[in-house]
Amino acid sequence: MVKRGRIVAFFLLVLLIAGSIGTTIQSVTKDTRLGLDLQGGFEILYEVTPLEESSGGEDDGVNRETLEATVQALRQRVDVLGISETSINIEGEDRIRVKLAGIEDQDKARELLSTSATLSFRDVNDEERLSGNAVVDGSAKQDFHPDTKEPIVSVRLESAEKFGQLTSEIKDMQNPDTPYPDNKLVIWLDYEEGDSYAEEVTKEDPKYISDPSVTETLRTSNVMITGSPFTIDEAKELADILNAGALPVKMEEIYSNSVGAQFGEKALDKTITAGFIGIGVILIFMMAYYRLPGVVAAITLSLYIFLILVVFNALQGVLTLPGIAALVLGVGMAVDANIITYERIKEELKAGKSILSAYRSGNNRSLATILDANITTLIAAIVLFSFGTSSVKGFATMLIMSILLSFITAVYGSRLLLGLWVKSRALNKKPGLFGLKASQIQNIEDGEEVEPLVFGRSFDFVKHRKKFFSISIGLVLAGVIAISTLGLNVGIDFTSGSRIEVLSDGSITTEKVQSIYEELELEPESIVLSGDNDDIAVARFDTNLDQGTIEKVNQAFEDELGNRPKVSTVSPIVGQELVENAIYAVAIASVGIIIYVTLRFEIYYALTAIIALLHDAFFIVALFSVTRVEFDITIIAAILTIVGYSVNDTIVTFDRIRENVRAKKRVKSFEELAQIVNRSLMQTLGRSINTVLTVVFAALALLLFGANSITNFSFALVVGLAAGTYSSMFIAAQLWLVWRGRNLDKKPIIYKEKKQTGGPQV
């Protein structure tokens, strides 16, 4: 008898989920904070050094208190600009990372941040006569000259007497050998050793603020700074800088990433479109292949995406392009948990079990597999977060959240919803709703094991293991040759330098871009066209462009094309650290996975799993060497993601091998072990194919329809996912067979049932 109450409960839950998502999704997406790569802005990593050289004392150098004071001063300056999407964080012992998203005047913001705001009053010989400490804090304001009515900045001094003494000395200075009057009071902002009034006075745009002539002694505490002359905006900006206070340190820019608003808008639109396409294809595939369970998966996947955004907003996360990529790929992770469960249920149904019995058995047997696969991937994600840069950390954060939430929704959510249908008994004797034909189901009374088939056939993978080993060895050798002869086409992330991407309407040419750089007296190392219809011109420089040059480049392209380019600069120090961190990340992830797999399985499984993941990581590096596609920091994220997926896939296969070995209880010969391994591979082949297909759907959508900045990332994922599936089946499992099989004489595989309280335990 059908229990209709459970079916009603199912539809009520679905309506509740749909209603919750439908009524709140607009506010959730509206509240989502977008990164600078999705709305424009810039990111700068500063290296902080003391204002004065160390004298060898214990208090010399930059300490935590100094860094925190610097961050506070930077926040006060940013508040002047009225920017809401601000992130200023201390990194390590001597670095500060600043992110300003959605800012319109990036040049002004960069200048406001980098200016130390140290005011000094000097004579024409560059000798300091009065320091900025003499100015009353917060006294600067934009005003107008009482006579000329021109914009000025007025400041108040703490001592009128000291200023009177200064002006008395300046007015009497004389040197007939100089081509300019000596009675000049030169007002500097951020005077640096080596700066010279004699040099700057000849320039059209000198570094000093103003140099008024002093003809009389001025005993006053109110000083007017006239500029050369100021505009109202320039006067106001200087007043704001002075009121924000001087920075207690020097800050050197060692990494920067500047994104024009048009770049951000286009990237957001394209990547969201790619995400919808990828997720849509996955949902259609699941519903077409798994029927009713696929519909349940589609519901829980929608809930998963919604929960990701809710939790991400609650944590005040900033959504970036890599974050969207991680979200889309997280759907593939969630699908994998469903596929593992549904394949086990179908397997039990083929054996002739009832719908309810197959549902319970499939859920129980799949839980440990899902748990192991998710934990190993989580290890890789945590390592990625620990050693990645800012954008990679965003990707890792989203991936970690995806793993945790996909486990909850795919395991518990799917089981709850599907369980309501199964326990209602409405599905009894309806295997078609699980994607099975009656001819595929055996009679359970016959007691025969279900022969695992793929495409209606059985394959002997183990028999051809030497061929698979030969293929991999050949590919590895070819990769070694390619890397040793061709090397990698490394991006500025690893070599240091500058990269400028210019967005146009598609009519831009390399010649046109070259001419603009020639006018700016710049010589790019290379200029290439990319993007849809060659609408992006990418120029690389082997040196770091300074802030002034970047401002000129921004202005030149804005005047010519109507939008600002995307500019990235990396110093040699940062490039070297990225390489080191990438190596550390892979090494530490490998050690963590070895420890976990050894504890859950045995050392033979762990070592072969690591060999397989290193095989996949190396294959990606070799492929980038052969194709000459630019190897940048996002590829490191892709490689570590592939490492996680490779281990995920391998663990699923190993879990089935372990299960079948335990069922055998005792394995004495290599032939017996080979049969078990081949049977396990056949049993998990369908799951492996379906999982890699769904994740590849997502990665392909990002590759074909996503933003240009994650094209290489998506390409690495597509190829790496295929390589990961190949290695888990034809390398890891086969290598484990050879390795473990040769040790059967010394260490046979034996599982004994021990009777303990609560029943037998294997």
pLDDT, tens digit, 9 for 90 and up, residues 161-178: 888 888 888 887 766 667
If you average pLDDT over every residue of the chain, what do you get? 79
- What the block records as the tokens of 634 is 């996002």
Q: What is the pLDDT of residue 11?
A: 92
Fold of 119-244: Gyrase A; domain 2 (3.30.1360)
Cα within 13 Å of Cα(761), Cβ side: 4
Q: How far apart are CA 44 and CA 95, in angstroms?
A: 10
Q: Higher confidence at residue 694 or residue 316?
A: 694
Which residue do the tokens 């219809």 mark? Answer: 533
Nearest to 385 by CA among 373, 372, 396, 371: 396
pLDDT digits (tens, 9 = 90+) for 517-540: 888 888 888 887 776 666 778 888
Q: How far apart are CA 239 and CA 143, in angstroms?
A: 10
Architecture of domain 462-488+574-749: Up-down Bundle (1.20)
Cα within 13 Å of Cα(675), Cβ side: 7
Q: What is the pLDDT of residue 16?
A: 93
Q: What is the pLDDT of residue 56?
A: 47
Q: What is the pLDDT of residue 532?
A: 60
Cα within 13 Å of Cα(686), Cβ side: 20
Work out the average pLDDT over 602-612.
84
Work out the average pLDDT over 621-632.
84
pLDDT digits (tens, 9 = 90+) for 3-40: 888 899 999 999 999 998 888 888 887 777 777 777 77
Q: What is the pLDDT of residue 104?
A: 66
Fold of 497-570: Alpha-Beta Plaits (3.30.70)
pLDDT band, residue 647 (cuts 50/70/90) = confident
Q: What percent of the chain has pLDDT over 70?
A: 87
Class of domain 40-114+249-257: alpha beta
Other beta carbons within 10 angstroms of residue 520's beta carbon come to: 14
Q: Sheet holding 85-91: strands in order across?
A: 85-91, 95-101, 41-50, 249-259, 566-570, 497-503, 536-541, 526-530
- The yes-or-no verdict on residue 382 having pLDDT over 50 is yes
- The yes-or-no verdict on residue 187 having pLDDT over 50 is yes
pLDDT digits (tens, 9 = 90+) for 84-103: 557 787 877 788 888 877 77
Give domain 4-15+269-441's CATH number out of 1.20.1640.10, 1.10.150.20, 3.40.50.1000, 1.10.10.200. Answer: 1.20.1640.10
Distances, alpha carbon 534 to alpha carbons 53, 66, 518, 704, 744, in Å: 50, 47, 21, 15, 60
Q: What is the pLDDT of residue 112?
A: 72
Q: What is the pLDDT of residue 447?
A: 55
- The yes-or-no verdict on residue 54 having pLDDT over 50 is no
Which of helix, strand or coil describes residue 141? strand
Work out the average pLDDT over 241-263.
72
Q: What is the pLDDT of residue 759?
A: 34
Burial class (CB in 10 A: 0-12, 13-18, 19+), 466: exposed
Model-level pTM greater than 0.75? Answer: no
Q: What is the pLDDT of residue 57?
A: 46
The residues, ordered by sequence, that sit 6+ positions from 757 with a Cβ below 8 Å of its Cβ are: none
pLDDT band, residue 481 (cuts 50/70/90) = very high
pLDDT band, residue 450 (cuts 50/70/90) = low
- What the block records as the tokens of 417 is 């919803």
Domain map of the chain by residue range?
A: 4-15+269-441, 40-114+249-257, 119-244, 462-488+574-749, 497-570
Q: What is the pLDDT of residue 754?
A: 45
Residues in the chain: 762
- The yes-or-no verdict on residue 545 having pLDDT over 60 is yes
The reply to whether 119-244 shares the fold of 4-15+269-441 is: no
Write the DSSP symbol of residue 565.
-
pLDDT band, residue 264 (cuts 50/70/90) = low
Q: What is the pLDDT of residue 449?
A: 63
